[in-house]
């Protein structure tokens, strides 16, 4: 079956990220035991809850304040949380621009309202796009949908909402567990492993080289 639609993950596929930089930033903020704070955050499920849209940014900041061993302001927590957000290589953005005539493009990302504001700001500042919908037909963020990958329900939501045939739709993600979940819905999965550059998947005409 010919691929007609492509769903892209964002962080780790289009956007460069490094989650380890969150801990580095918290340490710079004066948090003495970062690993212990991280475990407490995981126990409270704050990461998943804000990415499912179950709590607000303020709820997240307030929750973090109760789990770290130094007093922090909202701005300090925001800075640490956003430290993982790196750059969007222009080659990937130009690639998206070049393949829009060949495929229907969508984006599906596990993210939260704090990171979203950072993403959107950087997109406009660096590339002049005010909204992700200027690049994609539609974007899907976990905090708006209420599910996050690898929950199969988030893929089912996208398939239904976008009106795509799973067999004609490629899903690209850097996390293998998300690929496995997507394939349970019939989507064609492509695991973007370390060392594989997104732009190498397309030829000079903007066509997938493997499909």
Domain 5-16+86-201, what architecture?
3-Layer(aba) Sandwich (3.40)
Model confidence pLDDT, tens digit, residues 10-63: 999 999 999 999 999 999 999 999 999 999 999 999 999 999 999 999 999 999
Interhelix angle 20-28/74-82, nearest 10 degrees: 150
Quote the pLDDT of residue 211.
59
d(CA 148, CA 10): 13
Average pLDDT over residues 157-172: 98
CB 124 within 8 A of CB 150: no
- Helices then strands, counting H and E runs in the chain, come out as 10, 5
Query: Which residue ranges does the chain devote to CATH 1.10.150.240?
Result: 20-82
pLDDT in tens, 105-151: 999 999 999 999 999 999 999 999 999 999 999 999 999 999 999 99
Bond prior to 128 in cis (omega within 30° of 0): no
Rounded Cα distance, 199 and 211, in Å: 14
- pLDDT score, position 1: 66
Give pTM, 2 decimals: 0.95
Superfamily per CATH, domain 20-82: Putative phosphatase; domain 2 (1.10.150.240)
Rounded distance, CA 198 to CA 188, Å? 16
Rounded to an integer, what distance in angstroms lies between the CA atom of residue 88 and that of residue 119? 9
């Amino acid at each position: 079956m010919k691929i007609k639609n492509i769903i892209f993950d964002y962080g780790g596929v289009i956007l460069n990220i490094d989650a380890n930089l969150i801990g580095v930033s918290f340490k710079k903020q004066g948090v003495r035991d970062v690993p212990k704070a991280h475990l407490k955050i995981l126990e409270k499920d704050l990461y998943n809850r804000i990415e499912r849209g179950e709590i607000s940014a303020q709820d997240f900041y307030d929750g973090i304040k109760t789990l770290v061993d130094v007093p922090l302001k909202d701005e300090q927590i925001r800075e640490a949380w956003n430290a993982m957000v790196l750059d969007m290589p222009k080659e990937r953005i130009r690639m998206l621009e070049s393949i829009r005539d060949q495929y229907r493009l969508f984006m599906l990302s596990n993210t939260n309202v704090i990171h979203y504001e950072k993403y959107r700001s950087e997109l406009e500042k660096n590339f002049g796009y005010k909204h992700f919908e200027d690049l994609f037909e539609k974007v899907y963020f976990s905090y708006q949908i209420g599910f996050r990958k690898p929950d199969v329900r988030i893929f089912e939501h996208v398939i239904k909402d976008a009106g795509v045939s799973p067999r004609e739709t490629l899903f690209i993600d850097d996390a293998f567990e998300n690929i496995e979940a997507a394939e349970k819905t019939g989507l064609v999965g492509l695991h973007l492993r370390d060392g594989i550059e997104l732009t190498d998947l397309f030829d000079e005409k903007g066509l997938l080289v493997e499909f």
